[in-house]
Structure 1
Amino acid sequence: MIILLLNSSILGEAYKDKAKDFAEEARDTASEFAKNAKETFGSNDNQKLLAGIVALLFGGFGIHKFILGYTKEGATLLGVSIAGILLSCFGIGALFVWIPTVIGFVEGIIYLTKSDAEFYNTYQLGKKPWF
């Protein structure tokens, strides 16, 4: 009986050590994953891809402009779209809705076809707001 108790206490210590080692390894892996996620999320590739896809899908509302930090241009597209929606009962409103949508679609294609370096230099360093 005493031998069994000694064996279980020795095994318990060994399992505690293994659990501590596993916890330290998991903590290191989690911190490395968080570091890599921050680098990936903050990279220019994601802004390019995100801005391009949003411009293709919701270009008329100027959301892609807000993503890139162009608040004036984004507000302009959003305002023209809202005015077009409000004026759509008149004939001229349809024109106001289509123009921002086409601009956003064209910009989305331009964003996605540029190389990463060219996109970064043109739209993030150069701050070119339109096309």
Structure 2
Amino acid sequence: MENFEKSKNTAIVAYLTIIGCVIAIFMNQEENRSDFGSFHIRQALGLFLSFFLLGYFVGYANSWTVTSAFYLFYFILWVYGFSGALQGQKRELPLVGKLFQNTFKSL
């Protein structure tokens, strides 16, 4: 049970900024690797990287409505993933979760 608590802590840290995601990757090294922690690291890393990548282009839209919708969409995805980590559940993010799992499967 203690091992699950460690992997749950790793999953929670992964959602705390991009720096937290990098820290979680180091927390989930070979001897401490867990499926649960790896799952949430892939979800969080994909979420942060896509946020920065798409946010760069959304910034050029120069529209309050587009920008607000973008931030709201990513905030909802973040809350969904973070709450799954807190509850100890492996739930893929809607729309993009499977893509993140396949893209970052080496983590």
The TM-score, its normalising length taken from structure 1, stands at 0.38
| Greater Cα radius of gyration, structure 1 or 2 | 1
Q: Give the TM-score normalised by structure 2.
A: 0.44
Q: Could you say which structure has the higher helix fraction?
A: 1
